[in-house]
Amino acid sequence: MMNDLTLLQRILVWILPVVFAITVHEVAHGWVAKKYGDNTADMQGRLTLNPIKHIDLIGTIIIPGLLLITGTGFIFGWAKPVPVDPRNFKNPRSDMAVVALAGPVSNLLMAIFWALIARVGVTIGAGTESISLPLIYTGVAGISINLVLALINLLPIPPLDGSRILTGLLPSYWAWRYNQLERFGFIILLVLLSTNVLGMILAYPMFIAQQVFFSIAGL
């Protein structure tokens, strides 16, 4: 569907979904952390939807931009992590697991939002392509980036959110041993990505999730 667009059109279609998928993901962590007693993100001015506060040059601009330009069909990225101090939680490990889960959940909620945007475009129908097509294209981009971010972050690879969730479920000793992998987490993720193992892991869950959200969008 996106292959019919020029590079400039693809950038215009993807820019808002990508920036806000990444931004809202981080704000969700900080907002839930505040609810559990940690005001660190709030005190540093990170509980805002202003993308400038969250933009990471590499993760928010360079990586998504390169993936978009090269036409891989697979776009993801990250923002500056919102600071969270588990020492402020009553139950640090279990509360941190809930804070971690907030990120992927926010992406799923945003995927619903973008599906409804696309649905509006579909409902408007033929004869109003100047309005309906941008809504549909942007909605599809919003669904895709948010599902990718949700699924990637649920992987149990430190320091991804999935690892924080798993840490909250493991016995203390094994949680500590498991978190020792964090120093290698980014390398592991890059290896999985470059060898297409990550694509194979995510392909079926992504297919099923897209079917669900595209049906909401009426596509």
- Catalytic residue check, 26: yes
State the DSSP code for 83: P
Residue type, 108: L
Task: Tell whether pTM > 0.95.
Answer: no
The count of residues in the chain is 219
User: Any idea which residue has 């506060």 for tokens?
Assistant: 53
Q: pLDDT of 146-163, one tens digit each?
A: 998 999 899 888 888 998
Q: pLDDT of 36-81, one tens digit each?
A: 999 998 888 888 888 888 877 777 777 777 777 766 566 666 778 8
Where exactly are the structural domains of the chain?
A: 2-217
Q: Indicate which residue of 26, 38, 95, 161 is catalytic.
A: 26
Q: Give the residue ranges of DSSP H helices in 125-160.
A: 129-153
The pLDDT confidence band at residue 212, using thresholds 50, 70 and 90, is very high
